[in-house]
A and B are shown apart, each in its own frame.
Chain A
Amino acid sequence: MAIDLISYSLVPLFAALIIPFIPRKHRRITEIIANITLLSGIINLGYVIIYYLVLNDYTSYTSDAFTTLMLFTIYLVGMAITFFSTYYEVEKDTNFSSYYSLILVSVSAMCSLVMSRDFFTLYIFMEALSVCSFALITSDSKTFSIEAAIKYFFLTFPASVLIIFGISLLMINYGTFDFDTIKFTSMNFLTFVSLSFIILGFLIKAGIVPFHFWTPDVYEGSYSPVSAYMAGIVTKVGGIYAIIKIVMLLSSYGFGSNLSKLLLFTGFLSVFVGAIAATVQKNMKRMLAYSSISQMGYIILAAATFSPIGIIAAVFHLINHATFKTVLFLNSACVEKSTGTTNMDELKGLEHRMPWTSWTSIIALFSTAGLPPLSGFWSKLLIILALWQSGHIFYAVAALIASVFTLAYFTIMQKKVFFGKLPEKFNDIKEAKYQLLIPVVVISLIIIFTGVFFNRVFPYFERILS
């Protein structure tokens, strides 16, 4: 593990351990500890990243820059969710101390995961993350959420088997788990099978088509901030991150043409099935879930090129996806809190009452659909560029067409929920509390600034992923 960054992993863990000892009636203290823990982390990380971004000078930068960026993203989403949950307050009977503990533990697990330098550590923290996720999904007392948790458990457990199997094969073959000491001098059968098993396991964990059956139910069924958390960061770090890591590892040895075909096809399938299925969804959260599947397909497509620009695009899109999907899920949570439903057939004309929610949704969906100058445009451009340059013209065109679908279903969502005439029954609803809007607006601003100042952002990515 990256020892110099380990405090980012340990501090949330300690905070999570303290929280259960706070009496349940002092809820504020629990919330303050959770928020302060993550806030301090985000300030530290933000300072490091912005320092280099603004100075544009990377001479003194350590090799852990990529890890730092991932940590920042994890902390950003975790912070947004924690802050949002503090003021959300729908369920009176939720066990808050366990809720915040779980979030902090999962943040810690994710941080450890991105800091791990060998396959076994990666696997352990991935499992820890999964366990936290089961518990988080059930934090909503509705029966539906328990059903979703069970579904999540049953449909992803084959992944654990496959991963541990693949790791064992690697161990037999090379005698080590360490990323740095494994030398893929030749792609023999055993190496290939073990890597394929590991990738297959992580594909299932990430919920890529055709292993996506659990995702819509989980995202729709769980407590709204948890949906945002799961869609925004947990499944990305738990699944996609490991795939990107393996791709980075292999591409430095010049392997991967067979794996490339496999991943490209899965990514392509995911992009299209997610986008097409999203178009007729009635529930806002379910539509976002399908959108999430589709966007993860993009990341896989980019990673599958095994080229430097593809890896940059994959990481950039992963981070972008974390920002805009968090915004959209949090907005759906705001809508649910104000109107009591996320069924889009019942919603209409909310922009007259919830302008901030509407506008941040527009920013996030434009970014998802890849409209300049927002950040999503650049990552999609890089993805298509990477596909084109590596000769996968068919997939490049397919990615382009799929972004039309993206725009289509998000326009449908925006129209159904926010545009049109306000019905009578919604006459006295109000905009969400300003505390709820703060994380949404801050992340929206990040989307805009990342897109507008892309000339600064791109060299940074190039540098840290070289």
Chain B
Amino acid sequence: MNTNTNISNLILIPILIPFISAFLILLISEKTKYLKEVLSIAVALLCFIASITLLRLVGENPIIYQIPWLGYREMMAFRVDHLSAFLLFAVSMFSTLISIYAISVKNKGYSKIFYFLLLLTQSAAAGSVLSDNLIAMLFFWESMVVFLYVYIYISGEGYAVRKAALKTFLINGISDIAMMIGIVIVGYISDTYLMSSISSNKLILSGWGTIAYIMLLIGALTKAGAFPFHTWIPDAALNSNAAFMAYIPAAIDKLLGIYFLARISIYLYSLNTTMQVILMAIGAITILVAVMMALVQSDYKRLLSYHAVSQTGYMILGIGTLNPIGIAGGLFHMINHASYKSCLFMTSGAVERETGTNDISKLGGLFSRMPVTAICFIVAAASISGIAPFNGFFSKELVYKGTLASGWTLFFYAAELGSILTLASFLKLGHSVFFGSCPENLKDTKEAPYSMIIPMILLAAICIVFGFGADIPVSKFIEPSLSSLGVVVGNIELAGFHTDSLFIIFLVVVIIAVTNHIIGFRLSGKAYKSSDHIHHAPVLKETYAMADKGYFDIYEISRYIFAYFAGIMFKVDRFFDKLIDDIPSAITRWASEQLSRLQSASYRVSMFFIFLFIAIYLLYLGGIKWQ
């Protein structure tokens, strides 16, 4: 084990430096230009370099650093294995890119507060992935909820923003409480909070273990934004800015959620077939439900946010297969998704900044006006749709293979159907935003500023590099991560281009999606209406209407149930109030008035009473037996 103090400092850099810098940023005046941005970028870059160094230093043995705290030697225990280092690398990379990108985002609220939150989030995310102690991890994990709330709250004014912020806070907060319960149970049944100690004697699903796993799963799924805990993401997309969306729901939350899902499902527990099916089903349902919703959206960011949910389904499906190929696919898809979805949200922010709107019905023909943004969009959209040879194709292929290897072909079909719809919705989005005829008021739209273009290009480049050279991330990140999770890879080929039956299916998928788009475009005549033949199909139309009203939203349902429950409890409370307050008060009042009336009697009555009581006293005396 490597406990060199120099390396220990390296662990603290990504946690402490952003944390301290965040408060430094608060000292800078809002009017001072670029200083906050430069400081934030510099800090993120420093952490990025530290994470690369850590990634290189992690060998066969993980790096361990423990800070005694509150009387427990292992309270603040950090442990860097390949998976943690990989996650830290990703977190730092996205923080750097978003710091650059956010310079030109206009509706991000006070930039001081934005960068303050960005650095704190980075610090907390780094702490979450590096912690070995579950309680320390929870500490970092939960602190992010507050930042999430403030992020949304500061990005606008009005009822909708506050409502979205509150919704986000409640869903995440409650799921974190569930996670806390899970962690406490895990600590109780395994007698330690160190994940590395638990993993040497894995938990099984029985009794309290099952409850704990479900609680932890709720925490992980909510962070990742899976069905049915995803509903805050589309609401936040409407009411917040592109930088936030590209940073947290698209990148950080997915990274952390899937990281923790992988940790609990593979590292801490040895799951059984039932839980495997449940996980895969959650994945498949998430894919389909979210992509169906995404297909009919007319807002650029909201459409993307549903895809952010949908893609989570692939990762959960991949990890749920519990075989090396599937897990590799899930983890690979996680990093791929973060890169292309961040890129897509960045393009939405660029379009919003230049045109002032995110409504795709008011956009069109922007390719010639914003060529770089458009090309980045196309690359990222091709990646998310799984077009070969971009990165999404390879990770999805791994997920498909894993699903087929698990024997549950049903989920494979669901995933393929999701792919078709994903491609269809991106054809619709790309067609209506960047192609077709340009509206009059957008004729003189300009390209986005460099601060926006550079991160987009870098992310698009990652999509291409991870695609064409899929063996680089697989051999550098995924395979070591699998080994640190304890998964034996064996001789399976994870990267590389295979011209097998899956490739044929991929071609079929592309053909179906394109045909569907052409049909839709021909039927409606407008690109942004090209999904209307699905939207207005029988049964689906009613379902969509109900979904719009929030009938399937767990948050709205809970609110309704809680309101009803609160009504009943209010009645019960009134009853007890009557019982212990009103009735005794009335009796007391009555008695008190009677006693006061007695007081205002004349002397004769008073005297009479006094002599009466003296007589009673004496009679009482007469009846007492002496000792």
- Identify which of residues 463-483 in chain B touch chain A, using a CB-to-CB cut-off of 8 Å: none
CB atoms of A262 and B620 under 8 A apart: yes
Map CB proximity to A onto B612-627 as digits: 1 under 8 Å, 0 otherwise: 0110010011001111
Name B595's contact: one of A188, A257, A258, A277 (CB within 8 Å).
Answer: A277
CB atoms of B627 and A258 under 8 A apart: yes
- Identify which of residues 271-290 in chain A touch chain B, using a CB-to-CB cut-off of 8 Å: 273, 276-281
Please name all residues of chain B whose beta carbon is closer than 8 Å to the beta carbon of A419 when the two chains form the complex. none
Cα of A217 to Cα of B620 in the assembled complex, Å: 29
| Chain A-chain B contacts (Cβ-Cβ < 8 Å), number | 68
Q: Nearest CB to that of A258 among chain B residues?
A: B624
Cα of A154 to Cα of B609 in the assembled complex, Å: 13
B38 interface residue (CB < 8 Å to A)? no
Name B589's contact: one of A196, A213, A280 (CB within 8 Å).
Answer: A280
Expressed in whole angstroms, the minimum distance between the Cβ of A320 and any Cβ of chain B is 25
Name B606's contact: one of A155, A162, A188 (CB within 8 Å).
Answer: A155
CB atoms of A280 and B626 under 8 A apart: no
**Residue among B593, B595, B601, B613 having the largest count of chain A Cβ atoms under 10 Å:** B595
Please name all residues of chain A whose beta carbon is closer than 8 Å to the beta carbon of B627 when the two chains form the complex. 186-187, 255, 257-258
B572 interface residue (CB < 8 Å to A)? no
B610 interface residue (CB < 8 Å to A)? yes
A158 interface residue (CB < 8 Å to B)? yes
CB atoms of B607 and A276 under 8 A apart: no
Please name all residues of chain A whose beta carbon is closer than 8 Å to the beta carbon of B625 when the two chains form the complex. 258
CB atoms of B607 and A154 under 8 A apart: yes
A204 interface residue (CB < 8 Å to B)? yes
A65 interface residue (CB < 8 Å to B)? no
Please name all residues of chain A whose beta carbon is closer than 8 Å to the beta carbon of B588 when the two chains form the complex. 276, 279, 405
Expressed in whole angstroms, the minimum distance between the Cβ of A23 and any Cβ of chain B is 40
CB atoms of A280 and B592 under 8 A apart: yes
Cα of A38 to Cα of B596 in the assembled complex, Å: 38
Map CB proximity to A onto B579-604 as digits: 1 under 8 Å, 0 otherwise: 00000000011011101101101010
Name A211's contact: one of B589, B592, B595, B610 (CB within 8 Å).
Answer: B610
CB atoms of B620 and A273 under 8 A apart: no
CB atoms of B599 and A273 under 8 A apart: no
CB atoms of A276 and B591 under 8 A apart: yes
A189 interface residue (CB < 8 Å to B)? yes
- Identify which of residues 211-235 in chain A touch chain B, using a CB-to-CB cut-off of 8 Å: 211, 213-214, 216-217
Please name all residues of chain B whose beta carbon is closer than 8 Å to the beta carbon of A257 when the two chains form the complex. 627
Please name all residues of chain A whose beta carbon is closer than 8 Å to the beta carbon of B610 when the two chains form the complex. 155, 158, 204, 210-211, 213
CB atoms of A213 and B606 under 8 A apart: yes
Cα of A187 to Cα of B625 in the assembled complex, Å: 11
**Residue among B607, B610, B624, B626 having the largest count of chain A Cβ atoms under 10 Å:** B610
Please name all residues of chain B whose beta carbon is closer than 8 Å to the beta carbon of A151 when the two chains form the complex. 603, 606
Cα of A325 to Cα of B591 in the assembled complex, Å: 24
Expressed in whole angstroms, the minimum distance between the Cβ of B118 and any Cβ of chain A is 48
CB atoms of B593 and A193 under 8 A apart: no
Please name all residues of chain A whose beta carbon is closer than 8 Å to the beta carbon of B606 when the two chains form the complex. 151, 155, 213-214
Cα of A152 to Cα of B610 in the assembled complex, Å: 13
Map CB proximity to A onto B547-563 as digits: 1 under 8 Å, 0 otherwise: 00000000000000000
CB atoms of A276 and B592 under 8 A apart: yes
Please name all residues of chain A whose beta carbon is closer than 8 Å to the beta carbon of B613 when the two chains form the complex. 210-211
Please name all residues of chain B whose beta carbon is closer than 8 Å to the beta carbon of A189 when the two chains form the complex. 626
Name A280's contact: one of B596, B611, B620 (CB within 8 Å).
Answer: B596
CB atoms of A280 and B607 under 8 A apart: no
Cα of A364 to Cα of B591 in the assembled complex, Å: 26
Interface magnitude class on chain A? 20 to 34
Please name all residues of chain A whose beta carbon is closer than 8 Å to the beta carbon of B617 when the two chains form the complex. 196, 200, 262
Please name all residues of chain B whose beta carbon is closer than 8 Å to the beta carbon of A217 when the two chains form the complex. 599
- Identify which of residues 562-588 in chain B touch chain A, using a CB-to-CB cut-off of 8 Å: 588
CB atoms of A279 and B626 under 8 A apart: no
Cα of A151 to Cα of B592 in the assembled complex, Å: 22
A356 interface residue (CB < 8 Å to B)? no
Q: Nearest CB to that of B603 among chain A residues?
A: A154
Q: Nearest CB to that of B622 among chain A residues?
A: A193
Please name all residues of chain A whose beta carbon is closer than 8 Å to the beta carbon of B624 when the two chains form the complex. 192, 258
Cα of A204 to Cα of B607 in the assembled complex, Å: 12
Given A154-B607, A257-B627, A276–B620 Cβ distance below 8 Å? Answer: no
Map CB proximity to B onto A257-270 as digits: 1 under 8 Å, 0 otherwise: 11000100000000
Please name all residues of chain B whose beta carbon is closer than 8 Å to the beta carbon of A280 when the two chains form the complex. 589, 592-593, 596
CB atoms of A216 and B614 under 8 A apart: no
Name B607's contact: one of A155, A188, A192, A277 (CB within 8 Å).
Answer: A155
Please name all residues of chain A whose beta carbon is closer than 8 Å to the beta carbon of B593 when the two chains form the complex. 280
CB atoms of A158 and B599 under 8 A apart: no
CB atoms of A279 and B592 under 8 A apart: yes
- Identify which of residues 144-175 in chain A touch chain B, using a CB-to-CB cut-off of 8 Å: 151, 154-155, 158, 162
CB atoms of B595 and A216 under 8 A apart: no
CB atoms of B614 and A158 under 8 A apart: yes
Q: Nearest CB to that of B624 among chain A residues?
A: A258
Please name all residues of chain A whose beta carbon is closer than 8 Å to the beta carbon of B589 when the two chains form the complex. 279-280
Given A155-B610, A276-B591, A281–B596 Cβ distance below 8 Å? Answer: yes
Q: Nearest CB to that of A278 among chain B residues?
A: B592
CB atoms of A216 and B599 under 8 A apart: yes
Cα of A119 to Cα of B573 in the assembled complex, Å: 58
Expressed in whole angstroms, the minimum distance between the Cβ of A194 and any Cβ of chain B is 11
Given A158-B611, A204-B610, A213-B610, A276–B595 Cβ distance below 8 Å? Answer: yes
Cα of A280 to Cα of B621 in the assembled complex, Å: 35
Please name all residues of chain B whose beta carbon is closer than 8 Å to the beta carbon of A214 when the two chains form the complex. 606
CB atoms of B626 and A277 under 8 A apart: no
Cα of A279 to Cα of B591 in the assembled complex, Å: 10
Given A155-B607, A158-B611, A204-B610, A213–B592 Cβ distance below 8 Å? Answer: no
Expressed in whole angstroms, the minimum distance between the Cβ of B601 and any Cβ of chain A is 8
Expressed in whole angstroms, the minimum distance between the Cβ of A268 and any Cβ of chain B is 15
Expressed in whole angstroms, the minimum distance between the Cβ of A37 and any Cβ of chain B is 37
Please name all residues of chain B whose beta carbon is closer than 8 Å to the beta carbon of A193 when the two chains form the complex. 621
Please name all residues of chain B whose beta carbon is closer than 8 Å to the beta carbon of A204 when the two chains form the complex. 610
CB atoms of B614 and A200 under 8 A apart: yes
Cα of A211 to Cα of B606 in the assembled complex, Å: 9
Please name all residues of chain B whose beta carbon is closer than 8 Å to the beta carbon of A273 when the two chains form the complex. 595
Expressed in whole angstroms, the minimum distance between the Cβ of B596 and any Cβ of chain A is 6
Expressed in whole angstroms, the minimum distance between the Cβ of B607 and any Cβ of chain A is 7
Please name all residues of chain B whose beta carbon is closer than 8 Å to the beta carbon of A281 when the two chains form the complex. 596
Please name all residues of chain A whose beta carbon is closer than 8 Å to the beta carbon of B596 when the two chains form the complex. 277, 280-281
Please name all residues of chain A whose beta carbon is closer than 8 Å to the beta carbon of B607 when the two chains form the complex. 154-155
Cα of A111 to Cα of B180 in the assembled complex, Å: 68
Cα of A366 to Cα of B617 in the assembled complex, Å: 35
Please name all residues of chain B whose beta carbon is closer than 8 Å to the beta carbon of A155 when the two chains form the complex. 603, 606-607, 610
Expressed in whole angstroms, the minimum distance between the Cβ of B585 and any Cβ of chain A is 9
CB atoms of B592 and A192 under 8 A apart: no
Cα of A214 to Cα of B600 in the assembled complex, Å: 10
Map CB proximity to B onto A276-313 as digits: 1 under 8 Å, 0 otherwise: 11111100000000000000000000000000000000
**Residue among B599, B611, B624 having the largest count of chain A Cβ atoms under 10 Å:** B599
Q: Nearest CB to that of A273 among chain B residues?
A: B595
Please name all residues of chain B whose beta carbon is closer than 8 Å to the beta carbon of A158 when the two chains form the complex. 610-611, 614
- Identify which of residues 23-60 in chain A touch chain B, using a CB-to-CB cut-off of 8 Å: none
Q: Nearest CB to that of B599 among chain A residues?
A: A216
CB atoms of B614 and A277 under 8 A apart: no
Give 10 closest A-B pairs by Cβ, nearest first: A277-B595, A213-B606, A280-B592, A210-B613, A258-B624, A276-B592, A279-B592, A187-B627, A276-B591, A277-B592
13 CB-based A-B contacts, threshold 8 Å: A154-B603, A196-B621, A210-B609, A214-B606, A255-B627, A258-B624, A258-B627, A273-B595, A277-B596, A279-B589, A279-B592, A280-B589, A281-B596
- 20 new A-B contacts at CB < 8 Å, known A187-B626, A200-B614, A258-B627: A151-B603, A151-B606, A154-B607, A186-B627, A188-B626, A192-B621, A196-B617, A204-B610, A210-B610, A211-B613, A213-B601, A216-B599, A257-B627, A262-B620, A273-B595, A276-B592, A277-B599, A278-B592, A280-B596, A281-B596
Contact residues of A with B, CB < 8 Å?
151, 154-155, 158, 162, 186-189, 192-193, 196, 200, 204, 210-211, 213-214, 216-217, 255, 257-258, 262, 273, 276-281, 405
